[in-house]
């Protein structure tokens, strides 16, 4: 009589894996974009451009690069099914839902664009909450 190995309790839902990969790609390009802005803004200073634009662009680019690294960290956390990454993703999705509502209330964007900008984060939020038992 052979013994079977206990079933693995580690299962990564396909949707979480896809979301982690897409977030990783997004965070990587966000990081590169921030570095590019920071570097090009510093060239504006050396080439005789306005110093305020160069300094502000450098600081802004560095902040964007840091945000890109944070997104990359969340992607890695989601890939490894970490509870803190789920909590951070839920917070970000709630912000992504609130922003178009705020823009709609301020008449900044059309209703069609706002509805589309709300639907995708709501679907992702519902999905992440549905698979939350996989996170540890």
> Do 75 and 87 have their domain in common?
no
Residue where a domain stops, chosen among 54, 80, 106: 80
3 occurs within a structural domain: no
> Do 31 and 70 have their domain in common?
yes
133, exposed or middle or buried, with CB in 10 Å at 0-12, 13-18, 19+?
Answer: exposed
> Do 53 and 95 have their domain in common?
no
8 occurs within a structural domain: no
Structural domain boundaries, residue 104: 82-136
The mean per-residue pLDDT over the stretch 106-127 comes to 85
- For residue range 27-77, list pLDDT tens digits in order: 999 999 999 988 888 776 666 655 556 788 889 999 999 999 999 999 999
> Do 49 and 73 have their domain in common?
yes
> Do 70 and 20 have their domain in common?
yes
Instruction: Kindly report the pTM of this predicted structure.
Output: 0.76
> Do 86 and 97 have their domain in common?
yes
- For residue range 78-111, list pLDDT tens digits in order: 999 999 999 999 998 998 889 888 888 887 777 7
90 occurs within a structural domain: yes
**Rounded Cα distance, 10 and 33, in Å:** 35
């Amino acid at each position: 009589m052979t013994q079977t190995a206990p079933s693995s309790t580690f299962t990564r839902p396909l949707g979480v894996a896809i979301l982690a990969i897409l977030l990783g790609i997004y965070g990587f390009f966000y990081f590169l974009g921030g570095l590019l802005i920071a570097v090009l803004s510093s060239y504006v200073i050396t080439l005789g451009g306005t110093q305020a634009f160069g300094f502000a662009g450098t600081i802004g680019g560095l902040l964007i690069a840091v945000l890109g690294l944070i997104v990359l960290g969340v992607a890695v956390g989601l890939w490894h099914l970490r509870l803190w990454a789920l909590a951070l993703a839920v917070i970000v999705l709630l912000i992504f839902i609130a922003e178009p509502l705020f823009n709609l209330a301020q008449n900044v964007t059309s209703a069609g664009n706002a509805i589309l900008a709300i639907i995708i984060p709501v679907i992702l939020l519902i999905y992440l909450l549905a698979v939350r038992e996989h996170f540890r």
